[in-house]
Amino acid sequence: MKPPLAPKPAPVDPNIALVRRYLTSLIAGDESGAYAALGGDRSQSLKEEAFLDKDARITSLRVSRSDASGVTIEADVVSGRGTYVATFRVTNGPGGPTITQHDYIKV
């Protein structure tokens, strides 16, 4: 008798994966990786560097709104400087999803 098959993992939302890559790049000090998530747009500031440190943890990522032009993703992050909620607007362009707006608040 064959053992039961393991359930297939849930598909990863590419928009959430992009935001996770952006944040983990900043946590690791990899600005080039962070700018890649912004579509290579170095005119945008890496605002989250103000609170992210090497010990920061992403505790939650969720889609809060979706429409024809893209999605809004909220991330809860805990760092040595406190707990923050960051909001990201991800749009789908010719090169795939790109973070086009981002901001954060301390909670």
Q: In this predicted structure, what is the pLDDT of residue 12? A: 79
Distance CA 37, CA 21 (A): 7
Q: In this predicted structure, what is the pLDDT of residue 1? A: 65
Give 6's contacts (C-beta < 8 A, 6+ positions apart): none
Is residue 6 situated within a structural domain? no
User: Tokens representing 57?
Assistant: 């943890």
Amino acid at 15: N
Is residue 56 situated within a structural domain? yes
Other CB atoms within a 10 A radius of the CB of residue 49 amount to 13
Q: In this predicted structure, what is the pLDDT of residue 55? A: 94
> Residue 24, exposed/middle/buried by CB under 10 A (0-12, 13-18, 19+)?
middle
Whole domain around residue 87: which residue ranges? 14-106
Look at the chain and report how many structural domains it folds into.
Answer: 1
Q: In this predicted structure, what is the pLDDT of residue 9? A: 61
Distance CA 39, CA 93 (A): 9
Domain CATH code at residue 24: 3.10.450.540
Is residue 1 situated within a structural domain? no
Digit-by-digit pLDDT tens for the chain (107 residues) are 666 766 666 677 999 999 999 999 999 999 999 999 999 989 989 999 999 999 999 999 999 998 988 999 999 999 999 999 999 999 988 888 999 999 999 99
